Structure 1
Amino acid sequence: MDIAIITGSSSGLGREFARHIANRYQQLDEIWLIARRRERLKALASELASSTHAAFRVVPLDLADSSNYGGLGELLADAKPVIRVLVNNAGYEREGLLRDMEPDDMLAMIDLNVKGMTMINRTCLPYMSRGSFEIVTGSVSAFAPMPWQAVYGASKAYVRSLVFAIREEERRRGVNIMLLSPGNMDTEMNVRGSGGGKIGMLPYLNLARTVERSLSLAERGCGEYTPLMFYKAYRLAAKLVPATVMARFTRLDSGGTNGRGL
């Protein structure tokens, strides 16, 4: 049985991935939708049912909760599928001065962005084989230290490092792992115009175009995709300029605490 798995699929980028995957990969037998919100997943599955012959499996899990990894592992062990497409997308973001942030928000970012992303890989990679691919959602916030977004940026820097390491581990098996590093997106986690300071002035991505391009590149074995020339230039600058200097320019000064989990 060939399947796709999309985490963080109840809204935003994950939801867009689900739409495109349902239309693009008609050979799939099942598409597994994973997020916290069961009703949203059921509504999405119902919406997409007519666009593919694949069955949808709604898997409501909070991936910030370590006790849920075993449940997903048991589902996979029972179904014994081949995961052809994995979108490791669930994430959580908050902004603000670290000294003022709620400890629960800081821990939630670490639990979901670091632990959840890591354990989805550990749980799913054994079920992937030659020709399979994974897209992991990182962030341009990983390119350089981000004052007022320190924990989120650091969590995505971990994602970036891990993805490049396991990409090399899986390369000989014929499994491609690609890091998607998006900038601003008009989603629940980052509503257009809601960002304070500099972040609200940065360019926003077209979600459909970003997802379509991401799938195309991952199919072809690409290892990293940063949409838009503006963010590509920022990635290059972060490589050339010392981190302590970059931090002076990347500071958000928003003082906000916007952000949502998927």
Structure 2
Amino acid sequence: MDIAVVTGASSGLGKAFIEAIVARYRNLDEIWIIARREQRLRVLAERYCNPKTRIRVVPLDLTKTDAHERLIGLLKDERPDIRVLINNAGYEREGLLREMRSDDIRAMIDLNVTAVTMINRICLPYMRNGSFEVITGSVSSFAPIPWQTVYAASKAYVRFLARALHEEERTRGVNVMLFSPGNMDTEMNVRGAASGKLARLPYLDLHRETGKVLAKAERGCAEYTPLVFYKLYRLFAKLAPSALAVRVDSFETGGAGGGSTR
């Protein structure tokens, strides 16, 4: 059985990836959609299910260890070939670290770091030659960002993880690609609701970019950062002294904000 797996599937980028996968890969037997909000997943399953491809709803909160065990058990029972893995679940909050809720700090680390890592450990053994994974990173990983301290640090971890996995897996024909998006009109970053520097940054077209991401991952690309603005920012962050980059990057907002794609 050939399947695709999408985490953080209930809204935003995950939802756009589901739509792109349904349109692009007609030969898949199932698409497994994973998130904690079961009702939203069921609505998506009804919308995108077709006679050739079944949408399987897998409601899991990936911040919980028992969710990882349930996914391990499901894969062991079904023994599928994972042809496409979209490792997309993430959580973001902004604000001064000393003022943030402990639960938000832990959630960012549990989802952005631990869950992203464990999804790789759980799913990669079921991928084979020609399979590929997209790991959702962020342009926030390119340099330290005050007022987005934990989120940026967690995505820096993701960037290093993805690059190392790309090298580990390429010898057996499995591609791991890091996707580093900037502003997206999602629950985490609603267009018009952001303030300060964040509000002035360009937004991505989710539907156009997900198609590009899948095409690049198929071709074996290691990393993709969309839009010229964000490509130039990546170059700036690489060349500028960290003392300068951290001042330019500050997202001072005076309060916390953000959301999740769990």
Q: Shorter-chain TM-score: what band?
A: over 0.9
Q: Which residue of 2 aligns with 1:107?
A: 106
TM-score (norm 2): 0.98
Q: Which residue of 2 aligns with 1:148?
A: 147
How far has the Cα of 1:196 moved from its partner? 2.1
Q: Which residue of 1 aligns with 2:66?
A: 67
Q: Which residue of 1 aligns with 2:194?
A: 195
Distance 2:121 2:255 in 1: 34
Among all aligned residue pairs of Structure 1 and Structure 2, give the percentage whose two residues are the same amino acid: 61
How far has the Cα of 1:23 moved from its partner? 1.2
- CA-atom RMSD in angstroms: 0.8
TM-score (norm 1): 0.98
Distance 2:71 2:256 in 1: 31
Trace 1:38-117 onto structure 2 (pairs within 5 A): 38-50=38-50, 53-117=52-116
| Contact preservation (8 Å) 1:135, 1:218 | yes
SS at match of 1:260: strand
SS at match of 1:87: strand
Q: Which residue of 1 aligns with 2:7?
A: 7
SS at match of 1:164: helix
How far has the Cα of 1:256 moved from its partner? 2.8
| Contact preservation (8 Å) 1:185, 1:204 | yes
The one-letter code of the counterpart of 1:231 is Y
Residues 201-256 of structure 1: CA distance to partner in whole angstroms, max 9, x if unpaired? 10000001110100010000001000100000000011101222100000011123
Distance 2:27 2:242 in 1: 45
Distance 1:197 1:101 in 2: 19
Distance 1:258 1:101 in 2: 10
Q: Which residue of 1 aligns with 2:163?
A: 164
| Contact preservation (8 Å) 1:149, 1:252 | yes
Count of residue pairs brought into register by the alignment: 261
Trace 1:239-254 onto structure 2 (pairs within 5 A): 239-254=238-253
SS at match of 2:115: helix
| Contact preservation (8 Å) 1:196, 1:252 | no
Distance 2:58 2:128 in 1: 22
Distance 2:215 2:248 in 1: 33
* Consecutive aligned runs of 4 or more in structure 1 exceeding 6 Å deviation: none
| Contact preservation (8 Å) 1:89, 1:136 | yes
Q: Which residue of 2 aligns with 1:206?
A: 205
Distance 1:125 1:105 in 2: 29
How far has the Cα of 1:67 moved from its partner? 1.9
SS at match of 1:94: strand
